[in-house]
Amino acid sequence: MPADPLHRAGTAQRSTTSQPPSGSGASAIEVRRSARRRRTVSAYREGDRTVVLIPARMSEAEEQRWVNVMLDKLAAQESKRALGDAELTERARRLSDQYFDGRARPASVRWVTNQNTRWGSCTPSEGSIRLSHRLQGMPEYVVDYVLLHELAHLLVPGHGPRFWELLEAYPRTERARGYLEGVVAAERLPHVPGARGESPAE
């Protein structure tokens, strides 16, 4: 994303740098606060650093929430190229090897466009997994979570305790579930227009 023009003009601001969440793809996150920035949050990559620009008035809790939101948005934009079905199948097998000791072996994994009320589905008797095309462009950890969810169904039917114990092996389960819940909630809200690369802050 392009740098914020106010920042480039040297607007007075406070900057903090921290390590990113695991798997964010950047070595550090720099948060720059600006007194002139009122209601928008933006982010861009600067080398191996992610810069997040926020209003100076934000609390630390709001800052952390918006850093996570903007990291997800950047990751989604950077993974716009959708995996093909063959790549998706290979990815599912790697995830099974990593988290389920290779016990879940899908016969096929493919994108479908007729699943608008669910993110994924599987038919254990056929070993087939289908992912909704709506996942394309979402952060990789979200796609991986949905793949693992369906892989787990190849091993355990239903959503009982054994099923969720399997998914506990994936460290980003809760974050991925939160992301998908946020998508569902956002779809129920009216669209709020904003500048490209920016999100309106509350």
At 73-97, the pLDDT tens digits run: 887 766 555 577 888 899 999 999 9
Residue 33 lies in a domain: yes
Distance (Å, whole) CA 142 – CA 132: 12
- Model confidence over 41-85: pLDDT tens digits? 888 877 668 889 999 888 999 999 999 888 888 877 665 555 778
Is the same domain home to 73 and 166? no
Q: What is the pLDDT of residue 80?
A: 55
CA distance 133 to 120: 9
Per-residue pLDDT reduced to its tens digit, 175-198: 999 999 988 887 776 644 443 344
Q: Are residues 92 and 180 in the same domain?
A: yes
- What whole-number percentage of the chain has pLDDT above 70? 75
CATH (domain of 171): 3.30.2010.10
Residue 39 domain-assigned? yes
Assign 87 to helix, strand or coil: helix
* pLDDT band, very low/low/confident/very high, at 168 (cuts 50, 70, 90): very high
Check whether residue 142 and residue 105 sit in a common domain.
yes
Q: Quick one: average pLDDT of 128-155?
A: 91
Q: Can you give the residue range of the structural domain that contains 118?
A: 85-187
Most confident of 4-8, 35-39, 105-109, 185-189: 105-109
Q: Which residue has the higher pLDDT, 182 or 137?
A: 182
> Quick one: 48 and 102 in the same domain?
no
Residue 16 in any domain: the answer is no
* Band (137; pLDDT cuts 50, 70, 90): confident
Last residue of a domain, one of 81, 108, 126: 81
> 16 pLDDT band (50/70/90 cuts)?
low
Please state the domain count of the chain.
2
Both 132 and 71 in one domain: the answer is no
- For 95-117, write each residue's pLDDT tens digit: 999 999 999 999 999 999 888 78
Indicate if 178 and 92 belong to the same structural domain. yes
Among the listed ranges 51-55, 96-100, 118-122, 134-138, which one has the minimum average pLDDT value? 134-138
Residues 177 and 121 in one domain: yes
Domain termination site, one of 81, 116, 145: 81
**Residue-wise DSSP of 157-195:** -SSSHHHHHHHTTSTTHHHHHHHHHHHHHHHTSPP----
**From CA 143, how far away is CA 92, in angstroms rounded?**
10
